[in-house]
């Protein structure tokens, strides 16, 4: 009987959402556009969607178009603004409420904006938060497991993402161009929704129409490669580390090429971007080992990040992270599993747990790591308070060959707990912890029981 009631309740809630909530979102979007006279009309917009990489790709596109002399607007998870006047966002969401997006567009148009680079989420597409926004070029970075707490099924998630490409295809004044990750298993679905397609791939190919990087050189703080497409080649230096940022810089180069940006400006534009807050951000406080803050919080982003980082770390890799409450529960054990395959020590902590049991979330993450051979109390440390967890992670580093990764919060300025929203700054917290640990030379000299037990763990998958 309980199952039947639950099923009916879910169906009823779903019906209410589809028949009441979504029409309300649509009405709000229409009213916002009418009130402002459809301000995005005739604006040239590059929309970037995907599970991971959206923000970095958007910043790189912005840098390329700026290098070419365009006045370029930017709206992302991390920041918004025009040209170099970039500000932090107001709300804890990627694509802002449509009223705010349109107000910013009005302001940018008054200042003579040529292009807008817009990060677009699946929820924004579902809730009509980009209604009336003409997409000239649509970008798909990748589609992996995320936001199923909202979309319920992976197919619903993919269908929401596809809306961006349908919007671009309906824009008869635009290029009707899609730039697609050809390595993604959903690539064909996106290609089918738009008139013109440029695909990129990290895999070798004889097809010259597919953009691909060759002669890749990965460094701890950057990468370089040659981009090949048709008979053209570009010498790319990207100051955002990791193979995943090679993919993001490929997107920027292809957007620039589609717009008509010169080879020299594409290369210089990508090279000019030194850092994005909370995206592989190095934290310096006088220590002799690297401490990196990154927004990685999905199984896919974990897999890519750890796979790239592990070969660059000669010593021990220490990773600190958590997983949000009231969100996709399936990914928690996966995060622990993936991290355990590469890291020597895991420090598991809070991450926007909201009103869910934080210790319960941490144990679910730990379960995934335990299945990979790690042990709670030896090389898994459970520290609920995130500030203390950062300090605990830093204490595990023994010298210049070790690395500490602080994952999940990145640029975000708030953390959500049971009693509501609290101010948060991961980079500032890391600097504070570093200063505290460095001020205690005796504590630094001795190894904790955990560090003795953990030793140097180099899993076979990381070699």
Residues 172 and 196 in one domain: yes
Q: What is the mean pLDDT of residues 107-116?
A: 96
Side-chain half-sphere exposure of 297, counting CA atoms within 13 A: 24
Look at residues 382, 363, 368, 364 and name the one whose alpha carbon lies nearest to residue 339.
368
The DSSP letter of residue 6 is H
Give start and end residues of each alpha helix (H) in 171-284: 187-191, 243-259, 263-272
Answer yes or no: is 438 within a domain.
yes
Note the pLDDT tens digit of each residue in 275-321. Answer: 888 888 999 999 999 999 998 888 988 998 999 899 989 999 999 99
pLDDT tens-place string over residues 326-337: 887 888 999 999
CA dist., res. 279 & res. 411, Å (int): 8
pLDDT, one tens digit per residue, over 342-386 is: 999 999 999 989 989 999 999 999 999 999 999 999 999 999 999
Q: What is the average pLDDT value for the chain, to the nearest integer?
A: 87
Residue 289 and residue 152: Cα distance in Å, rounded? 42
Nearest partner of 89 among 430, 431, 410, judged by Cα? 410
Candidate ranges 124-138, 258-272, 427-441; pick with highest mean pLDDT: 258-272
Within-domain flag for 337 = yes
The pLDDT of residue 227 is above 80:
yes
Instruction: Look at residue 387 in the predicted model and tell me its pLDDT.
Output: 96
User: Which token pair is 371?
Assistant: 């299945």
Q: Using N-to-C axis directions, what is the helix angle for 243-259 and 263-272, rounded to 10°?
A: 140
C-alpha 419/C-alpha 406 separation (Å) is 24
Residue with tokens 């590059």, as numbered in its chain: 46
Tokens 């796979």 map to which residue? Answer: 307
Angle at 374 between CA 371 and CA 377, to 5 degrees: 125
Specify the pLDDT at position 424: 93
Domain end: 239, 272, 305, which one? 272
Distance from the Cα of residue 200 to its chain's centroid: 19
Mean pLDDT of all residues in 264-271? 98
Closest CA to 426 of 310, 316, 320: 320
Is 3 within a domain?
no
415 & 296 share domain: yes
Report the share of the chain in percent with pLDDT over 90.
63
Structure token pair of residue 76 = 């992302």
- Residues 208, 330, single domain; the answer is no
Q: What is the per-residue DSSP string for 314-355?
A: SS-EEEEE---TTS-SHHHHHHHHHHHHH-SEEEE--SS-TT
73 neighbors 61 (Cβ within 8 angstroms): no
- Taking only Cα atoms into account, the Rg of the chain, rounded to an integer number of angstroms, comes to 23
Q: How far is CA 360 from CA 325, 405, 428, 432, in A?
A: 10, 23, 27, 28
| One domain for residues 246 and 288 | no
Question: If we measure between CA atoms, which residue out of 299, 351, 305 comes closest to residue 146?
Answer: 299
Tell whether 141 and 55 lie within a shared domain: yes
Q: Does residue 351 form part of some domain?
A: yes
According to the model, what pLDDT value does residue 265 have?
Answer: 98
In a domain, 393, yes or no: yes
Q: What is the pLDDT of residue 90?
A: 65
- Are 140 and 199 found together in one domain? yes
Query: How are beta strands 403-407 and 291-294 bridged, if at all?
Result: parallel
The CA distances from residue 25 to 19, 128, 330, 444, in Å, are: 11, 6, 28, 54
How far is residue 75's CA from residue 67's CA, in Å, rounded to a whole number?
A: 18
Q: Is the pLDDT of residue 9 over 90?
A: no
Q: What is the CATH number of the domain that holds 349?
A: 3.90.190.20
Side-chain-side CA neighbours of 49 within 13 Å: the count stands at 31
Q: Are residues 293 and 435 in the same domain?
A: yes
285 and 260 in a single domain? The answer is no
Among 272, 301, 323, identify where a domain stops.
272
Q: 277, 274, 254, 268: which is closest to 69 by C-alpha?
A: 268
- Evaluate whether residue 294 is within a structural domain: yes
Q: Are residues 268 and 290 in the same domain?
A: no
pLDDT for the residue 405: 97
Same domain? For 423 and 305 the reply is yes
For residue 49, what are the β-bridge partners?
A: 140
Name the phi and psi angles at 195, rounded to 5: -70, -40
* 3-state SS, residue 281: strand
Greatest mean pLDDT among 75-89, 130-144, 445-459 lies in 130-144
**Cα separation of 36 and 139, whole Å?**
27
Domain boundary among 208, 242, 272: 272
Are residues 357 and 262 part of one domain? Answer: no
pLDDT at 444: 42
CATH of the domain at 61: 3.40.1190.10
Q: In total, how many domains does the chain have?
A: 2
Q: State the pLDDT at residue 460.
A: 37
Q: What is the pLDDT of residue 190?
A: 97
Tell me how far apart the alpha carbons of residues 458 and 317 are, in angstroms, rounded to a whole number: 9
Clarify whether residues 358 and 406 are in a common domain: yes
Residue range(s) defining the domain that contains residue 194: 27-272
Q: Edge-to-edge strands of the sheet including 212-218?
A: 212-218, 223-229, 232-238
Confidence band, pLDDT 50/70/90 cuts, at residue 448? very low
Average pLDDT over residues 139-149: 77
pLDDT of residue 273: 95
Whether residue 6 lies inside any domain: the answer is no
Residue 148: band (very low, low, confident or very high) from pLDDT cuts 50, 70, 90? low
Q: For residue 82, what are the β-bridge partners? A: 73, 85
**258 assigned to some structural domain:** yes
Tell me: pLDDT of 191 over 70.
yes
Q: Which residue has the tokens 């000019």?
A: 272
């Amino acid at each position: 009987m309980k199952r039947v009631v639950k099923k009916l309740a879910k169906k009823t809630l779903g019906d209410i959402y589809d028949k009441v909530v979504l029409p309300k979102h649509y009405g709000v979007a229409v009213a916002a556009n009418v009130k402002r006279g459809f301000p995005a009309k005739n604006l040239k917009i590059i929309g970037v969607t995907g599970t991971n990489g959206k923000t970095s790709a958007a910043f790189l596109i912005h840098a390329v178009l700026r290098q070419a002399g365009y006045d370029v607007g930017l709206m992302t998870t991390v920041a918004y603004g025009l040209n170099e006047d970039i500000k932090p966002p107001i709300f804890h969401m990627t694509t802002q409420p449509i009223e705010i997006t349109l107000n910013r567009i009005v302001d940018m148009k008054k200042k003579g904006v040529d292009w807008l680079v817009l990060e677009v989420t699946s929820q924004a597409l579902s809730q009509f938060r980009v209604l009336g926004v003409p997409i000239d070029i649509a970008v798909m970075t990748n589609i992996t497991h995320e936001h199923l707490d909202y979309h319920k099924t992976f197919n619903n998630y993919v269908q929401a993402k596809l809306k961006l490409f349908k919007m671009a295809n309906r824009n008869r004044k635009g290029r009707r161009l899609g730039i697609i990750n050809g390595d993604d298993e959903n690539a064909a679905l996106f290609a089918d929704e738009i008139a013109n397609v440029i695909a990129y791939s990290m895999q070798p190919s004889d097809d010259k129409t597919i953009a691909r990087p060759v002669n890749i050189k990965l460094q701890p703080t950057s990468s370089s490669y040659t981009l090949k497409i048709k008979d053209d080649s570009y010498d790319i230096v990207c100051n955002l580390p990791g193979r995943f940022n090679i993919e993001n810089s490929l997107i920027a180069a292809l957007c620039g090429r589609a717009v008509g940006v010169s080879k020299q400006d594409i290369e210089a534009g990508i090279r000019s971007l030194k850092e994005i807050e909370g995206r592989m951000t190095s934290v310096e406080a006088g220590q002799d080992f690297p401490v990196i803050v990154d927004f990685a919080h999905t199984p896919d982003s974990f897999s890519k990040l750890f796979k790239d980082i592990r070969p660059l770390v000669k010593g021990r890799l220490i990773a600190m992270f958590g997983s949000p409450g009231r969100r996709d529960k399936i990914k928690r054990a996966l995060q622990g599993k993936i991290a355990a395959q590469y890291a020597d020590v895991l420090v598991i902590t809070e991450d926007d747990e909201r009103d869910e049991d934080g210790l319960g979330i941490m144990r679910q993450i730990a379960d995934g790591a335990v299945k990979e051979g790690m042990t709670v109390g030896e090389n898994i440390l459970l520290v609920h308070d995130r500030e203390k967890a950062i300090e605990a992670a830093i204490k595990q580093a023994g010298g210049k060959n070790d690395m500490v990764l602080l994952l999940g919060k990145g640029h975000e300025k708030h953390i959500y707990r049971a009693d509501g929203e609290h101010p948060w700054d991961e980079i500032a917290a890391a600097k504070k912890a570093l200063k505290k640990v460095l001020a205690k030379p005796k504590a630094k000299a001795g190894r904790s029981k955990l560090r003795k037990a953990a030793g140097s763990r180099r899993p076979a998958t990381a070699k």
